[in-house]
Amino acid sequence: MKEGAILDYGSLIYVTLQRAKTSREAIHTMVDLLDTYGYASPAGESFSIADRITGEAWLMEFVGRRDEQKGVVYVARRIPDGMIAAHANLARITTFPRNDPDNFIYTEDVIELARKWNLYDVQMMISASQMYLIPLHLRVRGMVMLEFGLFIVL
């Protein structure tokens, strides 16, 4: 836990729901809150965010900025209309264009921080999940089974 950080998963959601009306507002609200108050968890997170006003649904993934400062490094991807997404504690956003603000929102320094933390090789494609949220391989099977269960029900 980062010293001085006060927001956990539940409180981040509650405060964001009080302040944001749309999915995009929620993403920016969460980032502002985390930059100000810090995230009280050592792990990365994945959030599904949707709203009735715009009809948009987004998948947002983030990880704390390590010892540098409060705040997070994040990538959010819009779920295309008519599609669904499942993500049980496993990063799903891989490569992402840096010139598509209608469908992707991300930390401006996402690549620079990955280079600084030695998580980015200039020869590889830009993959948020590979750079920041590398899961423990033994947990992956259980996470995928949770996601698969959703598709069985649907």
Contact 85, 59 (CB under 8 A): yes
22 vs 16: CA distance, rounded Å? 10
Which of 77, 99, 83, 82 has the alpha carbon at shortest distance from 24? 77
Q: What is the pLDDT of residue 13?
A: 92
Beta bridge partners of 79: 57
Q: What is the pLDDT of residue 149?
A: 53
Q: Confidence class of residue 1 from pLDDT cuts 50, 70 and 90?
A: low
Q: What is the pLDDT of residue 57?
A: 96
Query: In 5-129, at which residue ranges do the beta strands (DSSP E only) sit?
Result: 45-50, 57-64, 72-79, 104-106
Q: What is the pLDDT of residue 30?
A: 95
Is pLDDT above 90 for 19? yes
Is pLDDT above 60 for 84? yes
6-21 residues labelled b (16+ CB within 10 A) or e (exposed): ebeeeebeeebeeebe
Name the token pair of 131: 């750079």
Contact 91, 46 (CB under 8 A): yes
Q: What is the pLDDT of residue 121?
A: 61
Could you read off the pLDDT of 22-56 as tens digits, one per residue?
Answer: 999 999 999 999 989 888 876 778 889 999 999 99
117 vs 94: CA distance, rounded Å? 18
Mean pLDDT of 145-154: 53
Q: What is the pLDDT of residue 76?
A: 94
Contact 76, 58 (CB under 8 A): yes
Mean pLDDT of 5-23: 93
Could you read off the pLDDT of 85-141 as tens digits, one per residue?
Answer: 877 666 778 778 889 999 999 988 887 877 787 766 655 545 555 555 554 444 555
Q: What is the pLDDT of residue 153?
A: 53
Contact 135, 90 (CB under 8 A): yes
Neighbouring CB atoms inside 10 A of 45's CB total 21
Please indicate, yes or no, whether the overall pTM of this predicted structure exceeds 0.85.
no
Q: What is the pLDDT of residue 87?
A: 76
Side-chain half-sphere CA neighbours of 18 within 13 A: 7
